[in-house]
């Protein structure tokens, strides 16, 4: 059973901006041998004749890189909760080869899950719509060039691979949700109980994979097995109020959300990083929030900002409580995953 943590969470995942800026430990550059192994694995996988989503880890052999991926998994779940990889040879591959490479890496780290009701397992983060998700409750920030609020994604891990950066802007912002929790405990301990109460989170035009409802019910925080987790998507919580029966948000809830937003964007906690072609950002959604600044894209469609995205779940999942958790997005029966 979940308990309420009322003392400082002492853990590597509770980091500050200064600690990360003073360290290079969260950055990893792929070695020449690892890159060559990736290139060979891509060709091996393509030779199977399978589509990307049909490939399994054994179709993408990585004997040299596997120990480093195991270390990454441990760092994500037991350590600081994020890592930036550099050196993926995106300029050497076609779009299909890029997809196979990123998918293959993900298979060795966790199990890919669907990212939307279309059943997409390998997503593209690119500006395809002019809608503003802050005013349109059924739209998504990853399909726009608008600044995104701090949030988590609906999986244990999100991986973002940069193929092409924007013309300007589009910096990635990462913050420790564990450090946010510690700061709230210091500044407003009276708000902590609210973080363990169930709220309705809007699926924004989609449905829950378990209940079929257009929302899911979870607390913002869970503490179990010595692990502190946070699920925060303010705009999803606020638009969840449109459903009959949703527990009404109070002024105290808004105080909590305002404080989380303030802390997430603070100079003390918020770490900014630019995406370069060949970068992969890996994040544990339970211990880190992420965001993105607005950006200006290139006029040439072939140069426009493009990231590949994976949502991955670990085989061992021991963070869910009776209130805290995420159970996936239902796939529309009329769509077929590519």
Residue pLDDT, tens place only, 79-88: 999 999 999 9
**Predicted pLDDT at 1:** 57
Min mean pLDDT across 27-31, 68-72, 252-256, 315-319 is at 315-319
126 pLDDT more than 90:
no
**Predicted pLDDT at 300:** 78
Distance CA 232, CA 286 (A): 9
Mean pLDDT value across residues 258-274: 97
Distance CA 51, CA 113 (A): 16
**Predicted pLDDT at 336:** 44
DSSP SS3 for 173: strand
CB atoms within 10 A of CB 296: 11
136 pLDDT more than 60:
no
Distance CA 93, CA 43 (A): 11
Distance CA 96, CA 208 (A): 30
Contact 69, 109 (CB under 8 A): yes
**Predicted pLDDT at 338:** 38
**Predicted pLDDT at 127:** 64
Q: Which residues contact 253 (CB under 8 A, 6 or more apart)?
A: 194
**Predicted pLDDT at 337:** 40
217 pLDDT more than 70:
yes
Question: Domains of the chain by range and CATH?
Answer: 26-313 (3.60.130.10)
Query: How far, in Å, are 3, 25, 221, 319 from residue 322 at the CA level?
Result: 10, 35, 11, 10
281 pLDDT more than 50:
yes
**Predicted pLDDT at 258:** 98
104 pLDDT more than 90:
yes
Contact 200, 110 (CB under 8 A): no
pLDDT band at 116 (very low <50, low <70, confident <90, very high): very high
pLDDT band at 294 (very low <50, low <70, confident <90, very high): confident
Mean pLDDT value across residues 197-218: 96
pTM (2 d.p.)? 0.92
Distance CA 267, CA 265 (A): 7
Mean pLDDT value across residues 163-177: 84
Q: Which residues of 319-338 are buried (b: 16+ CB within 10 A; e: fewer)?
A: bbbebbbbebbbbeeeeeee
Structure tokens at 127: 């500006």
CA angle 283, 284, 285 (to 5 degrees): 105
Mean pLDDT value across residues 299-328: 91
pLDDT band at 168 (very low <50, low <70, confident <90, very high): low
Mean pLDDT value across the chain: 92
**Predicted pLDDT at 2:** 65
Q: Which residues contact 216 (CB under 8 A, 6 or more apart)?
A: 200, 201, 203, 208, 326, 327
**Predicted pLDDT at 114:** 97
**Predicted pLDDT at 145:** 66
Distance CA 196, CA 189 (A): 13
137 pLDDT more than 60:
no
């Amino acid at each position: 059973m979940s308990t309420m943590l009322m003392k400082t969470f002492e853990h590597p995942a509770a980091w500050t901006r200064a600690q990360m800026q003073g360290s290079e430990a969260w950055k990893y550059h792929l070695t020449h041998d690892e890159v060559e192994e990736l290139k060979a694995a891509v060709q091996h996988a393509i030779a199977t004749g399978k589509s990307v989503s049909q490939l399994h880890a054994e179709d993408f052999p990585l004997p040299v890189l596997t120990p480093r991926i195991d270390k990454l998994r441990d760092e994500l779940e037991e350590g600081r909760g994020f890592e930036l990889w550099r050196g993926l040879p995106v300029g050497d591959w076609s779009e299909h080869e890029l997809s196979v490479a990123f998918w293959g890496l993900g298979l060795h780290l966790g199990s890919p899950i669907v990212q939307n009701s279309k059943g997409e397992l390998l997503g593209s983060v690119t500006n395809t719509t002019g809608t503003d998700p802050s005013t349109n409750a059924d739209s998504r920030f990853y399909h726009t060039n608008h600044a995104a609020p701090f949030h988590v994604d609906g999986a244990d891990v999100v991986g973002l691979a940069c193929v092409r950066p924007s013309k300007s802007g589009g910096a990635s912002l990462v913050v420790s949700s564990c450090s946010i929790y510690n700061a709230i405990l210091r500044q407003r301990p009276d708000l902590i109980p609210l973080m363990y109460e169930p709220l309705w989170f809007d699926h924004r035009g989609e449905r829950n994979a378990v209940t079929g409802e257009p929302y899911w019910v979870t607390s913002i925080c869970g503490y179990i097995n010595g692990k502190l987790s946070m699920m925060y998507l303010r705009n999803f919580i606020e638009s969840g109020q449109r459903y009959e029966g949703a527990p009404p948000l109070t002024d105290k809830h808004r105080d909590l959300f305002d404080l989380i937003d303030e802390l997430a964007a603070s100079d003390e906690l918020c770490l900014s990083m630019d995406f370069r072609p060949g970068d992969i950002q890996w994040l544990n959604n339970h211990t880190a929030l992420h965001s993105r600044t607005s950006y200006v894209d290139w006029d040439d469609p072939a140069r426009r900002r493009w990231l590949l995205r994976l949502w991955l779940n670990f085989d061992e999942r021991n963070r869910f409580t009776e209130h805290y958790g995420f159970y996936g997005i239902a796939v529309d029966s009329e769509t077929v995953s590519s």
